[in-house]
Structure 1
């Protein structure tokens, strides 16, 4: 059984920048480069394997052939998460995602609950997270029509290392100057509420989805935005910090100074995203070669691969179900 190094799909949304190419080594011929879908089996952006026996194949194809790589906790033999890097040079639209029930009935896709880890943020950068006060459909429609939606939205100043858990139904928008690692359900359903009257490359305004958005959004005052105290556990060679645990995924930040060991059990695959630094992953399998990685690279570790050892100096996000 092998560890897979992944090659992402790229997205050139109009709000994107150049940092993923210039700082994270993403050799993708898109301008701007707004997102890289690092670990994805979603048909709108398939990541591929760029190492070993399955080199060149889509991750979705390999997992279809080997559903045991997903683990016993995963139902429907389908990778339940999608992992991204996001470079917001400009503000994203004000948007909302539906929950699973609504998305499956109306879009034939999963809902989208997500988590953001702020890799970097310009001084004074902010994001939108829910409403400052309770609103109604009528209030929101008038605000969108008159360009005054901003007065109802809660804006939060963002700093490097912040985390935000964004349940389905939360109105949100990543602001300009923020670089994010996003862990989400495997979904591509987004309802735009407002897009600042911007136009695309063809000079057309992007479509809004107000009527669907108001059916799925939480119109109460947003809670749970403030950064909570987080416990860091220190070990010889590394520190580990649980960032988020929900019904869809669990994410940890690992600061490797020399090395750390962990096990990938039969219950779930794991994904490693290198945010900074470099290193290699070794397994106890004598036939398996160490997998080297560096800043910006993402690895998929099949369920049941066993005990692993990471050696190097790196900041890593470790994700599992």
Structure 2
């Protein structure tokens, strides 16, 4: 059983920038480089293995050979999460994602509940999260047609270290100048409500999906998105902080100054996403060499790997189901 370093798939969406290549050393020849799908078995952007027995295989291929690597908590044998870096040089579209029931019936895909951890944000950067007041389909249709949707949307100023949980059905949009780590259901279903009348490299406006969007969105007053105090647990050489726990995934922020010990049980895989610094993961298996990692790299730890120890100076997101 081996720790796998992952090679992501890149996406060149028109709103992206160059930070993932410039600051995170992503060797992906795309401009812009809007997203990297770090840990993914989705057919629209699979990640591959960079090392060991399964080098150059996709993660999906490995998990078909070893479904036990996902863990006993997952009943359908499919990796339930997709983990990304997102660089928004420009505003993303105003959009919404369906829940599982709607997506499986209409798109043959999962729904998309997600969370964002803000790695960095320009001063004054904001995101869209829900509506300022209750709206109707008629109000929204007119607003999209007249370019006045903005007055109905709740805008939230964001800062480095903020966390946002975005349940399926929440109208949202990441604003320009924000770099985030996104943890989501394994899905690629997005319904665009409004795209600022932009055109792609071929001079065509991107497709909107208003009719589907209004079937799945929550049109009630905006939810509270104020940053609640989070509990940070301090240990000798590290700290850990629970960012989000939902039915699909659990995400912790781990700050390592010397060392961090944890266990990967047979109930769930774990994903380590390095936001800053460097380190290595050691296991109890004497035959397995320590796995080194650095800023921008993502590791997949198979369920049942056992006791692990991280040494180094690093900031990580640790994800499991």
TM-score, normalised via structure 1 length: 1.00
CA distance in 2, matches of 1:76, 1:48: 22
Does the residue aligned with 1:285 lie in a helix, a strand or coil?
coil
State the Cα distance separating 1:88 from its structure 2 match.
0.1
CA distance in 2, matches of 1:301, 1:171: 33
Matched, 1:313 2:316: no
Equivalent positions of 1:79-90 (< 5 A) are: 79-90=79-90
Q: Distance in 2 between matches of 1:70 and 1:89?
A: 34
Note the alpha carbon deviations across 1:256-312, whole angstroms, 9 max, x for none: 000100000000000000000000000001111100000000000000000000000
- Secondary structure of the residue aligned to 2:193 is strand
**Residue 213 of structure 2 aligns to a residue in which SS?**
helix
Alpha-carbon shift at residue 224 of structure 1 (Å) = 3.0
Shift of 1:10: 0.2
Deviations 1:139-179 (A, max 9, x none): 00000000000000000000000000000000000000000
Q: Say whether 1:252 aligns with 2:221.
A: no
Aligned residue in 2 for 1:122: 122
Aligned to 2:211: 211
**What residue is the counterpart of 1:12 in the other structure?**
12
- How far the C-alpha of 1:4 sits from its partner, in A, is 0.2
1:2 maps to 2:2: yes
Secondary structure at 2:155 match in 1 = strand
Secondary structure, counterpart of 1:139 in structure 2? helix
The whole-number CA distance in structure 1 between the counterparts of 2:64 and 2:92 is: 34
Structure 2: unaligned runs, 5 residues or longer: none
Q: Which residue of 1 aligns with 2:32?
A: 32
Q: Give me the whole-angstrom Cα distance separating, in 1, the residues matched to 2:225 and 2:248.
A: 20
> Aligned residue for 1:176?
176
Match of 1:41 in 2: 41
1:228 CA drift (Å):
0.5
Matched with 1:50 is 50
In structure 1, the residue matched to 2:287 is 287
Secondary structure of 1:277 counterpart: strand
1:36-57 CA-partner distances (Å, limit 9, x unpaired): 0000000000000001110100
**Which residue is equivalent to 2:158?**
158
For residues 210-263 of structure 1, give each alpha carbon's deviation from its aligned partner in whole angstroms, at most 9, with x where no partner exists: 000000000001213111010100000001000000000000000000010000
Q: Counterparts of 1:82-121 in structure 2 under 5 Å? A: 82-121=82-121
CA distance in 1, matches of 2:287, 2:193: 52
TM-score, L = length of structure 2: 1.00
1:171-205 CA distances to partner (integer Å, 9 max, x unpaired)? 00000000000000000000000000000010000
Q: Corresponding residue for 1:261?
A: 261
Query: Which residue matches 2:237?
Result: 237
Q: Does the residue aligned with 1:193 lie in a helix, a strand or coil?
A: strand
CA offsets 1:17-61 (integer angstroms, 9 cap, x no match) = 000000001000000000000000000000000011101000000
- 1:187 is matched with 187
CA distance in 1, matches of 2:163, 2:23: 21
What is the total number of aligned residue pairs between the two structures? Answer: 321
Runs of 4+ aligned structure 1 residues displaced above 6 Å come to: none
Measure the CA separation in 2 of the matches of 1:253 and 1:99: 26
**RMSD across aligned C-alpha pairs, in angstroms?**
0.4
Instruction: Tell me the CA shift for residue 75 of structure 1.
Output: 1.8
Query: Counterparts of 1:268 and 1:198 in 2: how far apart (Å)?
Result: 42
